């Protein structure tokens, strides 16, 4: 069976069914107590000098005179070899009785953030992280030009409990043929209140209880209704809808903040697995005002349980105000 998108009428969302990535129960590392990722530099396809084991690169930041698909790169973008989506075709949902499905159209890319196997994102220089951000922005803009795509999802899984399958530091980009309904609260809030929900989130904290750091172009905050313990957002102070709207001056500051904040979080929380997600506006879709892009950084300290799965109500055992205080102190030490 080919990759397929299936619609869940109960939860009102699309699900990717990817048989090409079939896994047996024993293949799921989180199912085994005490399991760890066992990827070594000798077999890692993302390490410099092993470019032949990956698909041909789409883009890269390279040293002068180095050739594509060979050594000499700082960061590179490649197609995901085990993509849950197929790049050919179109998104044309069909309904047969209750069952609604579509061809598994989409784009899945990997951003290899460093040529070094045991180097984490927060151990890179700000200049190196800036190169990664510029690659991601370039891919965001390039994929946005394809009118078949409606949302660009940029994310990172770091550590086994965050969903990582390889140790080598990398992030991923998925271009979807439908909008991300998780973000619909933003235009709905704007239509109801006439203001941006994210801008209001920043403004409605006059004593800075949930503020970790404020720079010239970005603030780092623990959001008022954090779903996860020690969840933090890096938010542009300027109202911007799309990640692709970020300019080079902003990107330079963001690179420094990513490095400093991740170091602070790892020190404060004893090196947890974590996810980063860039929330942004839809593309190639009817315009709705109220979107404001931001980066969410979520340490994985607990596995979501039955209450979260069954109701969507998340229980956060660390108040955002207390989390911000601890993370702020750690951030100051890492500056």
List residues with catalytic annotation. 170
Q: How many CB atoms lie within 10 A of CB 240?
A: 20
Q: What HEC string does 3-14 produce? A: CEEEEECCCCEE
Q: How far apart are CA 257 and CA 276, in angstroms?
A: 13
Our separate counts of H helices and E strands in the chain read 6, 14
The DSSP secondary-structure symbol of 55 reads P
225, 255, 11, 2: which is closest to 104 by C-alpha?
2
For residues 318 and 94, what is the distance between their CA atoms, to the nearest angstrom? 44
In this structure, what token pair is assigned to residue 129?
């992280």
> How far apart are the C-alpha atoms of 324 and 221, rounded to whole Å?
7
Instruction: Return the H-helix or E-strand segment holding 330.
Output: helix 320-334
């Amino acid at each position: 069976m080919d990759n397929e998108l299936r619609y869940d009428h109960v939860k009102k969302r699309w699900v990717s069914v990817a048989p090409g990535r079939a896994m047996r129960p024993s293949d799921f590392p989180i199912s085994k107590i005490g399991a760890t990722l066992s990827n070594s530099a000798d077999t890692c396809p993302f390490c410099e000098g092993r470019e032949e084991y990956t698909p041909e690169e789409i883009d890269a930041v390279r040293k002068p005179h180095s050739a594509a698909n060979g050594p000499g790169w700082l960061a590179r973008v490649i197609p995901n070899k085990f993509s849950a989506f197929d790049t050919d075709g179109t998104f044309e949902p069909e309904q047969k009785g209750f069952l609604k499905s579509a061809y598994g159209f989409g784009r899945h890319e990997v951003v290899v953030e460093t040529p070094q196997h045991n180097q984490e994102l927060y151990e890179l220089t700000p200049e190196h992280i800036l190169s990664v951000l510029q690659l991601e922005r370039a891919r965001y803009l390039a994929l946005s030009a394809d009118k078949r795509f409606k949302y660009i999802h940029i994310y990172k899984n770091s550590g086994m409990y965050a969903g990582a399958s390889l140790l080598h530091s990398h992030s991923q980009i998925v271009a979807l043929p439908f909008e991300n309904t998780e973000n619909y609260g933003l235009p709905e809030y704007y239509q109801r209140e006439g203001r941006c929900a994210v801008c209001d989130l920043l403004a409605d904290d006059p004593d800075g209880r949930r503020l970790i750091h404020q720079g010239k172009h970005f603030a780092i905050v623990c959001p008022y209704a954090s779903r996860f313990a020690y969840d933090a957002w890096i938010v542009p102070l300027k109202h911007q809808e799309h990640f692709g709207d970020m300019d080079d001056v902003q990107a330079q500051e963001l690179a420094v903040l990513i490095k400093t904040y991740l170091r602070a979080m790892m020190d404060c929380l004893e090196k947890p697995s974590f996810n980063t997600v860039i929330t942004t506006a839809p593309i190639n879709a009817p315009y709705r005002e109220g979107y404001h892009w931001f980066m969410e950084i979520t340490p994985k300290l607990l596995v979501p349980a039955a209450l979260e799965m069954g109701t969507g109500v998340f229980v956060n055992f660390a108040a955002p105000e207390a989390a911000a205080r601890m993370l702020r102190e750690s951030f100051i030490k890492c500056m």
